[in-house]
Amino acid sequence: MTIRTNIFALLAIAAVAITACGPRNPDLLTFRRSGEGPDEFTVAPSKPLADPPAAGALPPPTLGVGINRADATPEADAIVALGGRQNATTLDGIPTSDAALIRHAGRNGQSTGIRQTLAQEDIEFRRRNDGLILERLANSNLYFDAYEQQSLNQQREIDRLRQRGIQTPGAPPAELFPE
């Protein structure tokens, strides 16, 4: 009987050791590619090719400086390709319709390294909440459980705002999100 117990204990220790050797960044969402399908991000519309009026009139190439003659306005072209207006952005990439919102949001100053700070805090949060050993072994989706404390209850929030007299757009029916 002790041999079986020892073998079981060794197998349990081996399973724990294997799970400890996992990736450094916890993967809460366990989406995997199902095969070698097309990559939708590699498809980009391009402008038709045009011959220059004279080969000698072409400017010398400059890497990373100046305007790309083949694709002079890539951001505006992407916005138009996705159904937006060509003049929707300004030089700094912020839509002109959002200028007042950006000014209001930045009225108390801005943190320069906020993206890096949030990325580091999120990695630490995911490390603390990366699930139990069996959940990781079973490749369970832990994303919604880990971030449940930070999620917004749509129905409760829309009820709170409406009680204060704030007009709100419609929310999905409560039956779709049982508590």
Give per-residue pLDDT as tens, 154-164: 888 888 999 99
Q: What is the pLDDT of residue 39?
A: 63
Q: What is the pLDDT of residue 151?
A: 85
Q: 57 pLDDT exceeds 90?
A: no
Q: How far is residue 11's CA from residue 30's CA, in Å, rounded to a whole number?
A: 25
Q: How far is residue 77's CA from residue 94's CA, in Å, rounded to a whole number?
A: 15
Per the CB < 8 A criterion, the answer to whether 130 and 13 are in contact is: no
Q: 115 pLDDT exceeds 80?
A: yes
Q: What's the gap between Cα 53 and its chain centre? A: 44
> Percent of the chain at pLDDT above 70?
70
Per the CB < 8 A criterion, the answer to whether 19 and 133 are in contact is: yes
Residues linked to residue 89 through DSSP beta bridges, in sequence order: 95
Which pTM value belongs to this model?
A: 0.39
* Six-digit token string for 131: 């699930």
Question: 19-48 burial, b if ≥16 CB within 10 A, otherwise e?
Answer: eeeeeeebbbeeeeeeeeeeeeeeeeeeee
Q: What is the pLDDT of residue 21?
A: 62
Q: What is the pLDDT of residue 101?
A: 85
Q: What is the pLDDT of residue 164?
A: 95
* Six-digit token string for 51: 């011959």
Mean pLDDT of the chain: 75
